[in-house]
Amino acid sequence: MHCKGKTILIAFLTLLGTSFALIGLTNRLVLTPEFYKNSGDLLGYDDNAIATYVNAQNWIYLFEGLYLTIKLTLIALVIYTTFYVAKYQIRFRSIFGVVVYAEFVFLFAAFGKLLWFHYFEPAGTLSDWHKTYLLSTLSLFPNVPVAWYYPLQSLNAFEIAYWFALAFGLTKITTLNFDNSLLIVLKGYVPALVVWIACVVFTTMVVFPAQA
């Protein structure tokens, strides 16, 4: 069974559109000029300067599409390579489709974070925002150095759910059962994720030694 190109494109555009919608809601409900001002990160600036800063930050989101495309492509390439080494012939397009569908799991994490700050932590600071990731191990170690935020955030319930989503999707495009599909994910994607996290931590420590 193979994923059709049109179906994958629709899923990707839906994923991208939903991501943009969440970014827009976050800017409107949480990361407002008042939020930046109240967090104390922009003390000494007037309201116009803060508004200009926030608007400038929005330009970063224009790269969301490029980032998402690169991320999904690399993950699909890792899984494709894992299948190739295991001597399974699977179309890259089909694997990419599975990766796109699985990525929707992380939208729940983003939406949950938005709701958390809007309803339960409206007086939170920018620092709180950066280090908050629902259902992650970072909540167990809130006082760790900044360099360790990312690896501890990466180990979360949504990430584990993502592994299972990938495995389930692979059962739909291959003859493998769920256990063997999950093994492919654990052999391919998870080691690549660990290497990526290690690179991020190392780079952070080198570039920003004060945060180590």
The terminus-to-terminus CA distance of the chain in angstroms comes to 47
Better-scored residue on pLDDT, 40 or 167:
167
Q: What is the pTM of this model?
A: 0.89
**Which of 25-34, 81-90, 134-143, 196-205 reaches the highest mean pLDDT?**
81-90
Better-scored residue on pLDDT, 36 or 52:
36
pLDDT at 143: 85
CB 98 within 8 A of CB 88: no
Task: Give the start-to-end residue ranges of the domains of the chain.
Answer: 5-211
pLDDT digits (tens, 9 = 90+) for 134-148: 999 998 888 888 889
DSSP string of the chain, one letter each residue: ----HHHHHHHHHHHHHHHHHHHHHHHHHTS-HHHHHHHTTTTT--HHHHHHHHHHHHGGGGGHHHHHHHHHHHHHHHHHHHHHHTT----HHHHHHHHHHHHHHHHHHHHHHHHIIIII-TT--HHHHHH--TTBGGGG-TTS-GGGHHHHHHSBHHHHHHHHHHHHHHHHHSS--HHHHHHHHHHHHHHHHHHHHHHHHHHHHHH-GGG-
41 pLDDT higher than 70: no
pLDDT at 74: 97
Residue type, 101: Y
pLDDT at 43: 58
Better-scored residue on pLDDT, 47 or 30:
30
pLDDT at 113: 96
pLDDT at 65: 83
Mean pLDDT of 86-115: 96
